[in-house]
Amino acid sequence: MKKLIVNADDFGRHELINRAVERAFNSGCLRSATLMAGGIAFDDAINLAKKFPKLGVGIHFTLANGNPILPPEEIPTLVTEEGIFHGDYIKFLKRYLSGKISLGEVRSELAAQLEKILNTGLTLTHFDSHQHLHHIPGIIEIVLELASAKNISAMRVANTKIFDGELDSLGKFVGRLGLGSLAKFTAHQAHKKNFTTPEHFAGIVAGESVSEKFLLKLIENLQDGTTEVMLHPGTDNKILQDFCRWEHDFEEELAAVTSPKILNLLAEKNIAAINFSDLR
């Protein structure tokens, strides 16, 4: 049987992202989201998750482009002078590869993020990470250990395809090729430890939005098993682009997953929209 997991990343990062998750759950095919423990709208997201228990919620482990949970003095290699994470995955990777990141601090910070969410009483369905940093060797071992200790047995493997989305720059080509290669290593590590992962991944990872056109084509050609689609939906592009410092079309993704064309096609093809808990 063909199944689809539509997952909203960055849940809790901003209230306008939370409102998009709520709308996409109530009026669309979204059944899953991953929560940022350091997001400014964390409490609002928790309230929303408890209001809709059929919304599967995972943890969006964060090590770049966000706010830490631990005090900056406890994780000096992970934060800037302002006490926030470094700006993006490229800056993080440069520091990591040059030996400037402490894996002990990574473990402590990610454990604190996990505890903050679990202390709300929420049961987590899975994990992934902001800007896919859980795929990095050294970090994947840490997150698998932390998740296993808390009985979280499902995760994302972003085995992206090079030709998903526009391929109009060398950066996109290298980024997708690199992530796809790391994903193979991640899948091997995860399956060796009996973690469950969707068979396929269809999110566009180089900044473009998942459009109605993209989803229609995906559903028409959906492979057997479960496919995860990664999204970053929101209700107001201007506010969210300024806040996230990211020229992403949040509104287009929200429109795509609430599109009557998409919902009708899923029903016509008898494709179930599920969350990660259904993988068990």
In CATH, what number is assigned to the domain containing residue 168?
3.20.20.370
Confidence of residue 174 (pLDDT cuts 50, 70, 90): very low
What pLDDT sits at residue 167? 41
What pLDDT sits at residue 181? 81
What pLDDT sits at residue 259? 98
Distance, in Å, from the CA atom of 206 to the CA atom of 248, rounded to the nearest integer, reads 10
What pLDDT sits at residue 280? 77
**Contact, 190 vs 157, CB < 8 A?**
yes
Mean residue pLDDT of the chain comes to 92
Confidence of residue 270 (pLDDT cuts 50, 70, 90): very high
What pLDDT sits at residue 172? 44
Residue 253 CA to its chain's centroid (Å): 14
Specify the amino acid at residue 154: A
Mapping DSSP to helix (H, G, I), strand (E, B) and coil, where does residue 180 land? helix
How would you label 238-269 residue by residue, b for 16+ Cβ within 10 Å and e otherwise? eebeeebeeebbbbbbbbbbbbeebeebbeee
Q: What is the mean pLDDT of residues 21-47?
A: 98
Domain residues for 120?
2-279
Dihedral sign for Cα 224, 201, 195, 50, please: negative
Confidence of residue 163 (pLDDT cuts 50, 70, 90): very low
Over residues 210-251, the pLDDT tens digits come to 999 999 999 999 999 999 999 999 999 999 999 999 999 999
The DSSP string of 104-133 is: HHHHHHHHHHHHHHHTTTPPP--EEEGGGG
Residue 216: partners with Cβ closer than 8 Å, 6 or more residues away: 261, 262, 265
Confidence of residue 173 (pLDDT cuts 50, 70, 90): very low
| Higher-pLDDT residue of 164, 173 | 164
Give the total number of structural domains in the chain.
Answer: 1
Confidence of residue 178 (pLDDT cuts 50, 70, 90): low
What pLDDT sits at residue 139? 97
Distance, in Å, from the CA atom of 118 to the CA atom of 135, rounded to the nearest integer, reads 23
Over residues 85-137, the pLDDT tens digits come to 998 999 999 999 999 999 999 999 999 999 999 999 999 999 999 999 999 99
Ordered alpha helix ranges (H), the chain: 15-27, 42-51, 89-97, 103-118, 139-149, 170-192, 212-220, 237-244, 250-257, 260-268
Distance, in Å, from the CA atom of 276 to the CA atom of 280, rounded to the nearest integer, reads 8
Q: Secondary structure of the chain: what % helix, strand, coil (to 5)?
A: 45, 15, 40
**Contact, 160 vs 201, CB < 8 A?**
yes
